[in-house]
Chains A and B, each alone.
Chain A
Amino acid sequence: MNALIISAVWGVIMMFSGIVLKQKHAIRNLAVAGLILLLLANGLEMSGTMFFKVDTKGMIEFDRFALLFDSIIFASAILYLLLSARDMEKVGSNYAEYLALIFFILCGVVLVASFKSLLILFLGIEIISIPLYILTGSDKRNLKSNEASLKYLLLGAFSTGLMLMGIALIYGATGSFMNANIDVFKEPPSALLITGMTLLMFSMAFKTSVAPFHFWAPDVYDGAPVVFSSFMMTIVKGAAFIAFIRLFDEAFGSLAPKWQLWMAILTAATLFIGNITAVFQQSVKRMMAYSSIAHAGFMMLAVYAMNTDAKEGILLYIAAYCLATIGIFAVLGKMSDYTFDGFNGFAKSQPLLAATITIFLLSLAGIPLTAGFLSKFYMLKAVIDTHHNLWLVIFAVLMAAVSIYYYFRLIQAMYFKEGTVKEIHITPVFKWTMMILAAFIIILGIYPNLLLYWLYF
């Protein structure tokens, strides 16, 4: 509850900060301060200190899972702002508003992470989506950005419609919006309930860019300004997955035999399309967009398996994926040329950044000693523990091997190809934050307990 209220209030403060504060760096510092406050307040809630007592009639519940996820998200958001907040200045003149929208999105993220009622889920998803439509189109003079925004809005509205329809059908079938009440039904489940569940599955698959509902993702991620696509691909996608897991665990857990095979098929399709298409990209930004679809496929393994390992693992996965992607996009935002060739000779001019990017790429590829490996390990272990559909595991690792190709292509460009990279301006804060990100990835890759410990104590 702490984080929910503070993030909403801080969003409003940020909106007015643009009038009061004239200097950009003051606004930026205010936003970082707000996020640190959020992280602290959330940490205090984990240890039992609540600032606000609100009776939500059981519609929102802040359990360990949600709180830990919120902490991961806030920590990632701090690092994200430290790395990329300067680049937001380049997007347009409404600096304070962009940051305010980010706080509103975080408010929505907190909601979807802890919903106990479908109404809250819907509310959270909408609170996340609407600011995102704006941020996607924030580069107003860029046609691609406008196109991406419109595409996202139209398709997003469509999927929201599906979701509402699904919720309505489920209400018709069970007479309740509460997760716990939906899960109690008379055998056999009514067609109404199954249809509603399927519609919800489709709309959540849309929000998480799972194939075959992924078509918007590459265009939107590619069209949006780099700073915001980074935010969308990491923090927002993580939140959507947490909602997906919570929904199908709490509301449709007993229906698992009905949806499990479908989830397996969606997972396999996402892995295939994401990885295979990423191989053919010439732009690093677009490659990362497809890689984000590929990672959605891996996270879908958790939705499919839906056991303790899956829930622990998805948190680790989101942390690992967010850290690595935020780092790569932070550098991408500084580059003028997004193609692979644009990175030729990068290691010579920026050895430190090249080394950190290499660590991020190794983590995304799932090489041991990085967080990316252990998170993939958890996903595979979760699926193997279900003792069904083991082909999915084999398929997933084959696709992981494909991903080596496009991640290592960037490493090859940076280290082994000759070329000159335009001078890019790097502040010491940027350098240190990148090193902290890399250190986090390696530490989590050796001791994941440092994170998962908080799930139980």
Chain B
Amino acid sequence: MIPVLFIVIPMITGLAVFFFKNERSVKLLALFSSLATLVVALLGLTLLNDNNNVQYSANWLGFLGSRISLKVDGMGQVLCLLTSISYPAIFIATWKNQYQKAGNFFGLMLLSQAGLMGVFVAMDALLFYFFWEMVLIPVYFLSSQWGGEKRIRATMKFFIYTFLGSVLMLVGIIYLYSQTPDHSFSIESFYNLNKILPGKTQNWVFWLFFAAFAVKMPIFPFHTWQPDLYEQANTPTTMVLSGVMVKMGVFACIRWLLPVVSIASFQWGDVVTSLAVIGILYASLLAIQQDDLKRLVAYSSIAHIGLMCATIFSETTVGLQGVMIQMFNHGINVLGLWIVVEMIEKTCGTRKISELGGLAQKAPSLAIFAMIIGLASVALPLTNAFIGEFMMLNGIFSSSITHYNIVFTVLAAVSIILAAIYILTMIRKVFFGSSNTVTSNAQDIQWSQKLVLSVIVILILWLGIYPDSMLNLTHGLSESIIKKSDVLPLLMKH
């Protein structure tokens, strides 16, 4: 029942919120709904964590071989938890924001949450595609309606990119479906295809799928929509985009690509990893150059996601597990960064690093939180990202399927140094030094942001010191996926 609740709670409240006129009641209902989802997620992790509760299956398009088949597995738990933490955090942190047509804004936000949850729990390819697109529509309206001046153009670019990727994936899904012996869209049938499909076919089906995932993540050179959109969309939307939505691509690579077309994933592994590594370095170097805080975070996000992508295609259990928990870590870290950026923009009226300075004197608590979250983004030991990035780099290094593992590891590790450069420089320029006319009237953050940032900091430290709680969730799944995508027996068979 839990996966159904994940989708139904936000969807129903989301639709209801459209009809509310009063901004306060809209906000309360949205917050209540997102908290209810969080409670369900926590119950699903603890009390109700048994097989009956985390699965759901019902008839849908029987004649097409598609069922409503939902399941929260280890990775699903991590990502659903991330989604259900992010939404209330976003709502609380931006509680004071005023919106034109608040009903529409919060309705669309909740609908996007329903879609995201659906993507993470769908165990049927057609259903997965439905949810995949269902996320896109609310986000399209969110970022077109609210945001900067050039938002419409940026959103259109984003939408056409992602839609193009998605329809290519649709072709891939239908093709794989036509190859399944039992004509079914279920994930088990897709996993069995691995043994049937010859390598040649897999090689082009791989790109149909990867086009969709690469745009979503985004991987160099498919990333050009991202900085524009992050800059133009308003901050709550950007938080959804970068906190949760980009994880869809990473997640989908693990669930729908690696174990389904493993021979192709093996064959193209080096190409994709190279692209990812180029992206990491390129985005990190660009991040150093940025003067706009939003663009800086956007590029840093590309670098972090690139590392995850590179790790996935190194196909090691430890690396995969690292990706899974790093998805969560990156989600909450970037959420924290966005809140900090939003607060800076609110209080100083600008996002330009060159115009800011000495903010720590006026806003000490904001500075403390920014420092901790910044250090977590740099993957300092004792923060959550350290665990994730260590495991990922370890995974790439110990990978047995590529000859270039040392090169990839070294280049990817450079990104950590570059991250330290741009994050620490940013913090130094924005928060330290002497204050100027822009920052002299700055105010410190209020209780709502303090609350959310404290929760984020607690999570950062907790997962940094005691990561076992998260590692236990993902261990079994990582092993089984690596086992399914082991190419050696497949290659011998063909």
Contacts and interface: CB of A to CB of B under 8 A. Distances in A.
A393 B171 contact: yes
B134 A368 contact: yes
A55 to B, nearest CB: 36
Contacts of A449: 61-63
A369 interface: yes
Contact of A448 (B61, B152, B159, B167): B61
Contact of A380 (B63, B145, B170): B170
B63 A408 contact: no
Interface string B389-426: 00000000000000000000000000000000000000
A397 B177 CA distance: 17
B178 A381 contact: yes
A306 B136 CA distance: 33
Interface in B61-79: 61-63
Given A412-B152, A416-B145, A367 B133 contact: yes
Given A401-B163, A404-B163, A416-B152, A369 B134 contact: yes
A412 B156 contact: yes
B174 A380 contact: yes
A85 B61 CA distance: 37
A368 B130 contact: yes
B333 to A, nearest CB: 32
A174 B134 CA distance: 53
B141 interface: yes
Nearest to A366: B167
Given A415-B144, A415-B145, A384 B171 contact: yes
Given A369-B130, A412-B144, A415-B145, A394 B160 contact: no
**Majority SS at the chain B contact face:** helix
A104 to B, nearest CB: 37
Nearest to A394: B171
A415 to B, nearest CB: 6
Contact of B174 (A369, A384, A401, A412): A384
A397 B169 CA distance: 10
A454 interface: no
Given A377-B174, A381-B174, A384-B178, A400 B167 contact: yes
Interface in B194-230: none
A63 interface: no
A215 interface: no
Contact of B175 (A368, A384, A398, A416): A384
Given A362-B137, A384-B174, A398-B164, 10 more contacts: A367-B133, A380-B174, A381-B174, A381-B178, A394-B171, A398-B167, A400-B167, A401-B163, A405-B160, A415-B145
Q: Give the 8 A-B residue pairs with the shortest CB-CB distance, closest first.
A: A397-B167, A401-B164, A368-B133, A368-B130, A381-B174, A416-B144, A384-B178, A384-B174
23 contacts: A367-B133, A368-B130, A369-B130, A369-B133, A373-B133, A377-B170, A377-B174, A381-B174, A384-B171, A384-B175, A384-B178, A385-B178, A390-B175, A397-B167, A397-B168, A401-B164, A401-B167, A404-B163, A408-B156, A412-B152, A412-B156, A416-B144, A449-B63
